[in-house]
Amino acid sequence: MADTNAKLTVNGEEYELPIIKGTLGRPVIDIAALQESGFWSYDPGFKVTAPVESKITYIDGGKGELLHRGYPIDELANNAEYLEVAYALLHGGLPTAEQKAEFFEKIREHTPVHDQLRKFFEGFRRDAHPMAIMVGVVGALSAFYHEDLDVSNEEHREITAIRLIAKMPTLAAMSYKYSQGEPFMYPRNDFNYAENFLYMMFATPADVDYEKNDVITRAMDKIFTLHADHEQNASTSTVRLAGSTGANPYACIAAGIAALWGPSHGGANEAVLEMLDEIGTVENVPEFMEKVKSREVKLMGFGHRVYKNFDPRAQVMKETCDEVLEALGINDPKLELAMALEKIALEDPFFIERNLYPNVDFYSGIILKAIGIPTSMFTVIFALARTSGWISHWLEMHSAPFKIGRPRQLYTGETRRDFVKVEDRK
Protein backbone atom coordinates (compact mmCIF):
# COMPACT_ATOMS: atom_id res chain seq x y z
CA MET A 1 0.00 0.00 0.00
CA ALA A 2 1.64 3.24 -1.10
CA ASP A 3 2.10 5.90 1.56
CA THR A 4 -0.65 8.49 1.80
CA ASN A 5 1.72 11.04 3.36
CA ALA A 6 5.35 12.00 2.89
CA LYS A 7 7.17 12.97 6.04
CA LEU A 8 9.58 15.90 6.35
CA THR A 9 11.65 16.38 9.43
CA VAL A 10 13.43 19.72 9.74
CA ASN A 11 14.64 21.68 12.77
CA GLY A 12 13.33 18.92 15.01
CA GLU A 13 9.82 19.27 13.64
CA GLU A 14 8.07 16.57 11.59
CA TYR A 15 5.63 17.54 8.86
CA GLU A 16 3.08 15.21 7.24
CA LEU A 17 2.88 16.17 3.55
CA PRO A 18 -0.11 14.58 1.76
CA ILE A 19 0.62 12.53 -1.37
CA ILE A 20 -1.99 13.12 -4.09
CA LYS A 21 -2.36 10.68 -6.97
CA GLY A 22 -3.62 11.61 -10.45
CA THR A 23 -5.10 9.30 -13.10
CA LEU A 24 -1.75 9.04 -14.92
CA GLY A 25 1.84 9.97 -14.17
CA ARG A 26 3.68 10.86 -11.01
CA PRO A 27 1.75 11.50 -7.80
CA VAL A 28 2.49 14.88 -6.16
CA ILE A 29 3.47 15.85 -2.65
CA ASP A 30 1.37 18.71 -1.29
CA ILE A 31 3.92 20.97 0.44
CA ALA A 32 1.47 23.60 1.76
CA ALA A 33 2.49 22.63 5.31
CA LEU A 34 5.90 24.19 4.58
CA GLN A 35 4.13 27.49 5.31
CA GLU A 36 4.49 26.62 9.03
CA SER A 37 8.04 25.29 8.70
CA GLY A 38 9.92 28.54 8.20
CA PHE A 39 11.20 27.18 4.87
CA TRP A 40 10.31 27.69 1.19
CA SER A 41 10.67 24.93 -1.40
CA TYR A 42 13.41 25.70 -3.94
CA ASP A 43 13.11 24.51 -7.56
CA PRO A 44 14.68 26.86 -10.17
CA GLY A 45 13.14 26.21 -13.59
CA PHE A 46 10.26 24.28 -11.96
CA LYS A 47 11.93 20.97 -12.82
CA VAL A 48 10.06 19.06 -10.11
CA THR A 49 7.14 21.41 -9.37
CA ALA A 50 3.49 20.93 -10.32
CA PRO A 51 1.77 24.28 -9.64
CA VAL A 52 -1.58 23.15 -11.00
CA GLU A 53 -3.92 20.19 -11.46
CA SER A 54 -5.06 19.73 -15.06
CA LYS A 55 -7.15 17.35 -17.18
CA ILE A 56 -6.12 18.64 -20.60
CA THR A 57 -2.79 17.08 -21.65
CA TYR A 58 -0.64 14.28 -20.30
CA ILE A 59 3.00 13.71 -21.22
CA ASP A 60 5.10 10.67 -20.31
CA GLY A 61 8.59 11.96 -21.08
CA GLY A 62 10.22 8.57 -20.53
CA LYS A 63 7.92 6.75 -22.96
CA GLY A 64 7.63 9.66 -25.39
CA GLU A 65 3.85 9.67 -24.95
CA LEU A 66 1.60 12.72 -25.46
CA LEU A 67 -2.17 12.54 -24.85
CA HIS A 68 -4.68 15.35 -25.38
CA ARG A 69 -7.80 14.54 -23.31
CA GLY A 70 -6.55 10.94 -23.46
CA TYR A 71 -6.16 10.75 -27.26
CA PRO A 72 -2.61 9.93 -28.48
CA ILE A 73 -1.07 12.77 -30.51
CA ASP A 74 -0.23 10.60 -33.54
CA GLU A 75 -3.82 9.35 -33.79
CA LEU A 76 -5.13 12.92 -33.56
CA ALA A 77 -2.62 14.30 -36.07
CA ASN A 78 -3.25 11.50 -38.59
CA ASN A 79 -7.05 11.33 -38.25
CA ALA A 80 -8.56 14.55 -36.83
CA GLU A 81 -8.74 18.12 -38.07
CA TYR A 82 -7.05 20.73 -35.89
CA LEU A 83 -10.38 22.32 -34.94
CA GLU A 84 -11.63 18.95 -33.68
CA VAL A 85 -8.54 18.79 -31.47
CA ALA A 86 -9.16 22.38 -30.35
CA TYR A 87 -12.74 21.37 -29.45
CA ALA A 88 -11.41 18.43 -27.42
CA LEU A 89 -8.94 20.66 -25.58
CA LEU A 90 -11.70 23.17 -24.81
CA HIS A 91 -14.54 20.77 -23.95
CA GLY A 92 -12.92 17.52 -22.75
CA GLY A 93 -13.52 15.20 -25.71
CA LEU A 94 -13.75 15.00 -29.50
CA PRO A 95 -16.99 16.55 -30.87
CA THR A 96 -19.91 14.57 -32.25
CA ALA A 97 -20.73 15.31 -35.89
CA GLU A 98 -23.34 17.84 -34.76
CA GLN A 99 -21.01 19.50 -32.23
CA LYS A 100 -18.26 19.62 -34.87
CA ALA A 101 -20.50 21.32 -37.42
CA GLU A 102 -21.69 23.87 -34.86
CA PHE A 103 -18.16 24.61 -33.58
CA PHE A 104 -16.70 24.92 -37.07
CA GLU A 105 -19.49 27.34 -38.01
CA LYS A 106 -18.90 29.44 -34.89
CA ILE A 107 -15.18 29.66 -35.68
CA ARG A 108 -15.92 30.55 -39.31
CA GLU A 109 -18.28 33.31 -38.16
CA HIS A 110 -15.54 34.95 -36.09
CA THR A 111 -12.56 34.76 -38.46
CA PRO A 112 -12.81 38.41 -39.64
CA VAL A 113 -11.26 41.17 -37.52
CA HIS A 114 -12.49 44.71 -36.87
CA ASP A 115 -11.42 46.82 -39.83
CA GLN A 116 -9.93 49.39 -37.43
CA LEU A 117 -7.32 46.73 -36.48
CA ARG A 118 -5.67 47.23 -39.86
CA LYS A 119 -4.45 50.59 -38.59
CA PHE A 120 -2.47 48.86 -35.81
CA PHE A 121 -0.23 47.28 -38.42
CA GLU A 122 0.60 50.65 -39.99
CA GLY A 123 2.42 51.65 -36.81
CA PHE A 124 5.03 48.92 -37.35
CA ARG A 125 8.01 49.10 -39.69
CA ARG A 126 7.54 46.79 -42.67
CA ASP A 127 10.52 44.73 -41.47
CA ALA A 128 9.13 44.29 -37.94
CA HIS A 129 9.35 40.67 -36.77
CA PRO A 130 5.82 39.23 -37.10
CA MET A 131 6.02 37.96 -33.53
CA ALA A 132 6.49 41.57 -32.35
CA ILE A 133 3.35 42.46 -34.30
CA MET A 134 1.39 39.51 -32.90
CA VAL A 135 2.26 40.33 -29.28
CA GLY A 136 1.01 43.86 -29.85
CA VAL A 137 -2.07 43.20 -31.93
CA VAL A 138 -3.38 40.23 -29.92
CA GLY A 139 -2.95 42.17 -26.68
CA ALA A 140 -4.82 45.07 -28.25
CA LEU A 141 -7.79 42.87 -29.23
CA SER A 142 -9.24 43.51 -25.76
CA ALA A 143 -9.78 47.12 -26.90
CA PHE A 144 -12.39 45.84 -29.36
CA TYR A 145 -14.46 43.69 -27.02
CA HIS A 146 -15.17 45.79 -23.96
CA GLU A 147 -18.61 44.24 -23.62
CA ASP A 148 -17.26 40.68 -23.23
CA LEU A 149 -14.33 41.11 -20.85
CA ASP A 150 -15.84 40.02 -17.56
CA VAL A 151 -13.63 37.00 -16.79
CA SER A 152 -16.12 35.85 -14.13
CA ASN A 153 -18.80 35.51 -16.82
CA GLU A 154 -18.74 32.04 -18.43
CA GLU A 155 -20.39 33.26 -21.63
CA HIS A 156 -17.76 36.00 -21.99
CA ARG A 157 -15.01 33.40 -21.48
CA GLU A 158 -16.53 31.04 -24.07
CA ILE A 159 -16.99 33.67 -26.79
CA THR A 160 -13.45 34.95 -26.18
CA ALA A 161 -12.05 31.44 -26.72
CA ILE A 162 -13.92 31.23 -30.02
CA ARG A 163 -12.77 34.72 -31.10
CA LEU A 164 -9.11 34.01 -30.31
CA ILE A 165 -8.98 30.63 -32.08
CA ALA A 166 -10.87 32.08 -35.04
CA LYS A 167 -8.87 35.28 -35.42
CA MET A 168 -5.31 34.06 -34.90
CA PRO A 169 -4.93 32.82 -38.52
CA THR A 170 -6.32 36.12 -39.82
CA LEU A 171 -3.95 38.19 -37.68
CA ALA A 172 -1.00 35.89 -38.43
CA ALA A 173 -1.58 36.18 -42.16
CA MET A 174 -1.97 39.96 -41.81
CA SER A 175 1.41 40.16 -40.04
CA TYR A 176 2.94 38.33 -43.00
CA LYS A 177 1.17 40.35 -45.69
CA TYR A 178 2.21 43.58 -43.97
CA SER A 179 5.86 42.50 -44.07
CA GLN A 180 5.51 41.77 -47.80
CA GLY A 181 3.86 45.08 -48.59
CA GLU A 182 0.89 43.14 -49.97
CA PRO A 183 -2.82 43.88 -49.31
CA PHE A 184 -4.51 41.93 -46.52
CA MET A 185 -6.73 39.06 -47.68
CA TYR A 186 -10.10 38.49 -46.03
CA PRO A 187 -11.03 34.99 -44.80
CA ARG A 188 -13.39 32.99 -47.03
CA ASN A 189 -16.40 31.11 -45.66
CA ASP A 190 -16.01 28.35 -48.25
CA PHE A 191 -12.52 27.39 -46.98
CA ASN A 192 -11.69 25.28 -43.92
CA TYR A 193 -9.37 26.54 -41.16
CA ALA A 194 -6.02 25.55 -42.70
CA GLU A 195 -7.16 26.39 -46.27
CA ASN A 196 -8.19 29.86 -45.09
CA PHE A 197 -4.86 30.49 -43.40
CA LEU A 198 -2.90 29.50 -46.50
CA TYR A 199 -5.26 31.56 -48.68
CA MET A 200 -4.85 34.66 -46.51
CA MET A 201 -1.09 34.10 -46.52
CA PHE A 202 -0.44 33.49 -50.20
CA ALA A 203 -3.39 34.68 -52.32
CA THR A 204 -3.59 38.24 -53.66
CA PRO A 205 -6.68 40.17 -54.81
CA ALA A 206 -5.50 39.56 -58.38
CA ASP A 207 -5.65 35.78 -57.86
CA VAL A 208 -8.96 35.16 -59.56
CA ASP A 209 -8.04 31.49 -60.04
CA TYR A 210 -6.40 30.78 -56.63
CA GLU A 211 -6.20 27.01 -56.19
CA LYS A 212 -6.01 25.12 -52.89
CA ASN A 213 -3.39 22.40 -52.56
CA ASP A 214 -4.78 19.49 -50.54
CA VAL A 215 -1.36 18.08 -49.60
CA ILE A 216 -0.16 21.41 -48.25
CA THR A 217 -3.50 22.06 -46.53
CA ARG A 218 -3.43 18.68 -44.78
CA ALA A 219 0.21 19.22 -43.75
CA MET A 220 -0.61 22.68 -42.38
CA ASP A 221 -3.56 21.32 -40.41
CA LYS A 222 -1.37 18.54 -38.97
CA ILE A 223 1.28 21.08 -37.97
CA PHE A 224 -1.41 23.06 -36.14
CA THR A 225 -2.45 19.89 -34.28
CA LEU A 226 1.13 18.98 -33.38
CA HIS A 227 1.55 22.40 -31.75
CA ALA A 228 -1.88 22.69 -30.10
CA ASP A 229 -0.99 22.03 -26.49
CA HIS A 230 1.78 20.65 -24.33
CA GLU A 231 0.93 20.62 -20.62
CA GLN A 232 2.56 23.27 -18.41
CA ASN A 233 5.29 24.50 -20.79
CA ALA A 234 6.77 27.96 -20.30
CA SER A 235 4.24 29.87 -22.41
CA THR A 236 1.23 28.02 -21.02
CA SER A 237 2.48 28.61 -17.49
CA THR A 238 2.84 32.28 -18.43
CA VAL A 239 -0.78 32.38 -19.61
CA ARG A 240 -1.93 30.77 -16.38
CA LEU A 241 0.13 33.11 -14.19
CA ALA A 242 -1.15 36.17 -16.06
CA GLY A 243 -4.68 34.75 -15.82
CA SER A 244 -4.33 34.24 -12.06
CA THR A 245 -4.30 38.04 -11.64
CA GLY A 246 -7.71 38.28 -13.34
CA ALA A 247 -6.15 39.82 -16.46
CA ASN A 248 -8.31 39.70 -19.55
CA PRO A 249 -7.74 36.67 -21.84
CA TYR A 250 -6.34 38.72 -24.74
CA ALA A 251 -3.63 40.07 -22.42
CA CYS A 252 -2.94 36.54 -21.14
CA ILE A 253 -2.58 35.12 -24.65
CA ALA A 254 -0.33 38.05 -25.63
CA ALA A 255 1.84 37.17 -22.63
CA GLY A 256 1.94 33.56 -23.85
CA ILE A 257 3.00 34.73 -27.33
CA ALA A 258 5.80 36.79 -25.82
CA ALA A 259 7.06 33.83 -23.76
CA LEU A 260 6.84 31.44 -26.72
CA TRP A 261 9.10 33.72 -28.80
CA GLY A 262 12.26 32.68 -26.95
CA PRO A 263 14.69 30.41 -28.88
CA SER A 264 14.64 27.85 -26.05
CA HIS A 265 10.89 27.49 -26.55
CA GLY A 266 8.76 28.24 -29.61
CA GLY A 267 11.49 30.28 -31.27
CA ALA A 268 13.51 27.07 -31.75
CA ASN A 269 11.90 26.21 -35.11
CA GLU A 270 13.25 29.45 -36.57
CA ALA A 271 16.60 28.80 -34.85
CA VAL A 272 16.80 25.29 -36.40
CA LEU A 273 16.66 26.73 -39.93
CA GLU A 274 19.25 29.38 -39.03
CA MET A 275 21.45 26.59 -37.60
CA LEU A 276 21.08 24.48 -40.77
CA ASP A 277 21.96 27.56 -42.86
CA GLU A 278 25.04 28.13 -40.69
CA ILE A 279 26.22 24.51 -41.02
CA GLY A 280 25.63 24.63 -44.78
CA THR A 281 26.64 21.13 -45.86
CA VAL A 282 26.85 17.62 -44.39
CA GLU A 283 30.66 17.90 -44.58
CA ASN A 284 30.56 20.65 -41.93
CA VAL A 285 28.51 18.57 -39.45
CA PRO A 286 31.44 17.05 -37.50
CA GLU A 287 32.99 20.49 -36.88
CA PHE A 288 29.62 21.88 -35.79
CA MET A 289 29.06 18.95 -33.44
CA GLU A 290 32.38 19.75 -31.77
CA LYS A 291 31.09 23.28 -31.10
CA VAL A 292 27.96 21.75 -29.58
CA LYS A 293 29.95 19.45 -27.32
CA SER A 294 32.19 22.29 -26.21
CA ARG A 295 28.95 24.11 -25.33
CA GLU A 296 29.63 26.97 -27.72
CA VAL A 297 26.23 26.35 -29.30
CA LYS A 298 23.19 24.19 -28.70
CA LEU A 299 21.84 21.73 -31.28
CA MET A 300 18.56 23.56 -31.87
CA GLY A 301 15.52 21.33 -32.21
CA PHE A 302 17.10 18.80 -29.87
CA GLY A 303 16.47 18.19 -26.20
CA HIS A 304 13.44 18.73 -24.04
CA ARG A 305 12.72 19.33 -20.37
CA VAL A 306 10.17 16.52 -20.29
CA TYR A 307 10.93 14.12 -23.16
CA LYS A 308 13.94 11.96 -22.38
CA ASN A 309 12.98 9.89 -25.40
CA PHE A 310 11.70 10.79 -28.86
CA ASP A 311 9.19 13.68 -28.89
CA PRO A 312 6.21 11.85 -30.45
CA ARG A 313 5.37 15.03 -32.35
CA ALA A 314 8.79 15.01 -34.01
CA GLN A 315 8.09 11.55 -35.42
CA VAL A 316 4.77 12.62 -36.96
CA MET A 317 6.44 15.81 -38.17
CA LYS A 318 9.20 13.79 -39.88
CA GLU A 319 6.62 11.58 -41.65
CA THR A 320 4.73 14.70 -42.75
CA CYS A 321 7.99 16.23 -43.94
CA ASP A 322 8.69 13.23 -46.16
CA GLU A 323 5.10 13.33 -47.53
CA VAL A 324 5.17 17.05 -48.33
CA LEU A 325 8.61 17.06 -49.94
CA GLU A 326 7.69 14.03 -52.07
CA ALA A 327 4.30 15.46 -53.07
CA LEU A 328 5.87 18.79 -54.02
CA GLY A 329 8.81 17.13 -55.73
CA ILE A 330 11.21 19.05 -53.50
CA ASN A 331 14.62 17.67 -52.79
CA ASP A 332 15.62 20.01 -49.93
CA PRO A 333 19.28 19.59 -48.99
CA LYS A 334 18.33 20.96 -45.55
CA LEU A 335 16.31 17.79 -44.93
CA GLU A 336 19.34 15.69 -45.84
CA LEU A 337 21.46 17.84 -43.51
CA ALA A 338 18.89 17.53 -40.70
CA MET A 339 18.80 13.75 -41.09
CA ALA A 340 22.62 13.62 -40.99
CA LEU A 341 22.59 15.69 -37.79
CA GLU A 342 19.90 13.46 -36.28
CA LYS A 343 21.78 10.27 -37.19
CA ILE A 344 25.04 11.50 -35.68
CA ALA A 345 23.34 12.87 -32.57
CA LEU A 346 21.43 9.65 -31.92
CA GLU A 347 24.69 7.66 -32.00
CA ASP A 348 26.89 10.12 -30.09
CA PRO A 349 27.42 9.50 -26.34
CA PHE A 350 27.26 13.26 -25.63
CA PHE A 351 23.62 13.30 -26.73
CA ILE A 352 22.74 9.80 -25.56
CA GLU A 353 24.02 10.47 -22.02
CA ARG A 354 21.91 13.66 -21.88
CA ASN A 355 18.79 12.06 -23.39
CA LEU A 356 18.79 14.58 -26.22
CA TYR A 357 16.38 13.62 -29.00
CA PRO A 358 14.75 15.65 -31.80
CA ASN A 359 11.81 17.68 -30.50
CA VAL A 360 8.77 19.14 -32.25
CA ASP A 361 10.83 22.00 -33.67
CA PHE A 362 13.48 19.94 -35.43
CA TYR A 363 11.55 19.08 -38.60
CA SER A 364 8.72 21.64 -38.53
CA GLY A 365 10.85 24.37 -40.09
CA ILE A 366 11.75 22.20 -43.08
CA ILE A 367 8.07 21.51 -43.85
CA LEU A 368 7.09 25.14 -43.33
CA LYS A 369 9.89 26.24 -45.65
CA ALA A 370 8.73 23.67 -48.24
CA ILE A 371 5.20 25.11 -48.00
CA GLY A 372 6.70 28.53 -48.75
CA ILE A 373 6.38 30.02 -45.28
CA PRO A 374 9.25 32.35 -44.38
CA THR A 375 11.37 31.52 -41.33
CA SER A 376 10.18 34.64 -39.52
CA MET A 377 6.63 33.21 -39.55
CA PHE A 378 7.50 29.84 -38.00
CA THR A 379 6.94 30.87 -34.39
CA VAL A 380 3.84 32.83 -35.39
CA ILE A 381 2.39 29.56 -36.67
CA PHE A 382 3.36 27.88 -33.41
CA ALA A 383 1.54 30.67 -31.52
CA LEU A 384 -1.49 30.38 -33.82
CA ALA A 385 -1.77 26.66 -33.11
CA ARG A 386 -0.96 26.88 -29.39
CA THR A 387 -3.76 29.41 -28.84
CA SER A 388 -6.27 26.56 -28.48
CA GLY A 389 -4.08 25.03 -25.76
CA TRP A 390 -3.41 28.31 -24.02
CA ILE A 391 -7.06 29.35 -23.89
CA SER A 392 -8.09 25.84 -22.78
CA HIS A 393 -5.74 26.14 -19.80
CA TRP A 394 -7.04 29.64 -19.10
CA LEU A 395 -10.64 28.33 -19.17
CA GLU A 396 -9.66 25.37 -16.98
CA MET A 397 -8.13 27.75 -14.43
CA HIS A 398 -11.34 29.81 -14.38
CA SER A 399 -13.52 26.69 -14.04
CA ALA A 400 -12.62 26.40 -10.34
CA PRO A 401 -11.55 28.76 -7.53
CA PHE A 402 -7.93 29.89 -7.91
CA LYS A 403 -5.42 32.13 -6.16
CA ILE A 404 -3.07 34.66 -7.68
CA GLY A 405 0.28 33.03 -8.48
CA ARG A 406 2.93 34.56 -6.23
CA PRO A 407 6.15 32.46 -5.91
CA ARG A 408 8.71 33.25 -3.20
CA GLN A 409 12.54 33.26 -3.45
CA LEU A 410 15.87 32.43 -1.88
CA TYR A 411 17.23 35.92 -1.04
CA THR A 412 21.02 36.28 -1.22
CA GLY A 413 21.23 40.06 -1.48
CA GLU A 414 22.44 42.73 0.96
CA THR A 415 21.35 42.63 4.60
CA ARG A 416 19.75 45.78 6.04
CA ARG A 417 21.96 48.91 5.80
CA ASP A 418 21.39 52.64 6.35
CA PHE A 419 20.85 55.16 3.59
CA VAL A 420 23.97 57.18 2.63
CA LYS A 421 23.76 60.67 1.15
CA VAL A 422 25.26 60.93 -2.33
CA GLU A 423 27.98 63.27 -1.09
CA ASP A 424 29.05 60.66 1.48
CA ARG A 425 29.11 57.69 -0.88
CA LYS A 426 32.57 56.31 -1.72
18, amino acid identity: P
Q: Which of 354, 372, 399, 407 binds ligand SDX (CB under 6 A)?
A: 354
304, 311, 393, 398: the catalytic one is 304
Residue 338 engages ligand SDX in binding (rule: CB under 6 A): no
Q: CB–CB of 130/377 below 8 Å?
A: yes
Residue 292 engages ligand SDX in binding (rule: CB under 6 A): yes
For ligand SDX (CB under 6 A), the number of binding residues is: 22
Q: Report the alpha-carbon distance of residue 218 to residue 352 in Å, rounded.
A: 34
CB of 287 to ligand SDX, least distance (A): 15
Residue closer to ligand SDX (CB basis): 356 or 381: 356
| DSSP SS3 for 287 | helix
Residue 66 engages ligand SDX in binding (rule: CB under 6 A): no
Binding mask 296-325 for ligand SDX (x = CB under 6 A): --xxxxxxxxx-------------------
Q: Which of 131, 316, 360, 384 binds ligand SDX (CB under 6 A)?
A: 360
Task: Please say if 60 is a catalytic residue.
Answer: no
Q: CB–CB of 251/245 below 8 Å?
A: no
Listed in sequence order, the DSSP H helices in 213-248 are 214-226, 234-243
Q: Report the alpha-carbon distance of residue 290 to residue 390 in Å, rounded.
A: 38
Q: Report the alpha-carbon distance of residue 162 to residue 110 in Å, rounded.
A: 7
**Whose CA is closest to 359, among 313, 316, 322?**
313
| DSSP SS3 for 230 | coil
Residue 337 engages ligand SDX in binding (rule: CB under 6 A): no
Q: Exposure of 339 by Cβ count < 10 A (0-12 exposed, 13-18 middle, 19+ buried)?
A: middle
Neighbours of 204 (CB within 10 A): 11
Residue closer to ligand SDX (CB basis): 95 or 256: 256
Q: Report the alpha-carbon distance of residue 300 to residue 359 in Å, rounded.
A: 9
Task: Please say if 304 is a catalytic residue.
Answer: yes
**Can you name the residues that pair with 20 across neighbouring β-strands?**
28
CB of 159 to ligand SDX, least distance (A): 26
CB of 28 to ligand SDX, least distance (A): 18
Residue 342 engages ligand SDX in binding (rule: CB under 6 A): no
CB of 313 to ligand SDX, least distance (A): 7
Q: Which of 196, 237, 359, 364 binds ligand SDX (CB under 6 A)?
A: 359
Residues in contact with ligand SDX by CB under 6 A are 45, 230, 233, 264-266, 268, 292, 298-306, 354, 356, 359-361
Residues forming the active site: 304, 361
